Amino acid sequence: DAGVTQSPTHLIKTRGQQVTLRCSPKSGHDTVSWYQQALGQGPQFIFQYYEEEERQRGNFPDRFSGHQFPNYSSELNVNALLLGDSALYLCASSLLDRGVLGYGYTFGSGTRLTVV
Amino acid sequence: GNSVTQMEGPVTLSEEAFLTINCTYTATGYPSLFWYVQYPGEGLQLLLKATKADDKGSNKGFEATYRKETTSFHLEKGSVQVSDSAVYFCALPIIQGAQKLVFGQGTRLTINP
């Protein structure tokens, strides 16, 4: 049973460019959450998608946007990249309402984004 | 607001040493508390959890007790192994709107043989 799959695993972009990261949730999961993990920090919640809509957003600017497709996969887009956007971006999938309470919040291995 | 504070790292120990990683939290009410582990090159994995005060979560020899008096959830292991080398995160869930996790800054643990 495949877990959460993220692509690409590593990415280098130039300041000002745009980037798209992808996430395929664990089979049977319908909700996708994105987190940003800066070097030496804990992950921070970016937003969550369910039924192709953004349910809630963390404290991130509008340069960060996302999308969820009918097959529950998701994309994270970041525009006008800044050096400070360099981080590990984690995707987590779950069943709505059965997520963070430990019943099935599954993380992917992440995409390491470096902005130069 | 809700937050989690972990002890400063990194932590380096010898094999079979006793481990404690401190975690304190600030939250409304009495949320569940978690410890996650991140092995090199892998995603976060739930290590253990406690759902109410005085609960003890345990897994793979690790333990943590939910202490509401001291708002703490310290992670302990009696005898660490080289394979325990990883980054450990204390976390609490927020269930307002979208369910999400608030993490501490993480503690990098290195075990030397």
Tens of pLDDT, residues B65-102? 999 999 999 999 999 999 999 999 999 988 777 778 99
Q: Minimal Cα distance from B5: which residue of A?
A: A42
pLDDT (average), residues A93-111: 78
Residue pair B101/B34 in contact by the 8 Å Cβ criterion: yes
In this predicted structure, the answer to whether residue A96 has a pLDDT above a threshold of 80 is no
Grade residue A8 by pLDDT with cuts at 50, 70 and 90: very high
In this predicted structure, the answer to whether residue B112 has a pLDDT above a threshold of 80 is yes
**Which residues have C-beta within 8 Å of that of residue A71, sequence separation ≥ 6?**
none
The confidence score (pLDDT) of residue A1 equals: 56
List of chain A residues whose C-beta atoms are within 8 Å of the C-beta of residue B44: 43, 90, 92, 107
Tell me, yes or no, if A7 comes closer than 8 A to chain B by beta carbon: no
Question: How does DSSP classify residue B72?
Answer: B
In this predicted structure, the answer to whether residue B106 has a pLDDT above a threshold of 90 is yes
Tell me, yes or no, if A39 comes closer than 8 A to chain B by beta carbon: no
Beta-ladder partners of B59: B62
A67-76 burial by CB neighbour count: b if 16+ within 10 A, else e?
ebeeebbbbb
Question: How does DSSP classify residue B5?
Answer: E
Give B18 to chain A, closest Cα distance, Å: 24
The confidence score (pLDDT) of residue B12 equals: 97
pLDDT (average), residues B5-33: 91
List of chain B residues whose C-beta atoms are within 8 Å of the C-beta of residue A34: none
Give A45 to chain B, closest Cα distance, Å: 7
Rounded to whole angstroms, the Cα distance separating B60 from A97 reads 27
Of B43, B100, B102, the CB nearest to A90: B43
Answer whether A40 sits within 8 Å of B93, measured CB to CB: no
The confidence score (pLDDT) of residue A2 equals: 67
Grade residue A101 by pLDDT with cuts at 50, 70 and 90: low
In this predicted structure, the answer to whether residue A97 has a pLDDT above a threshold of 80 is no
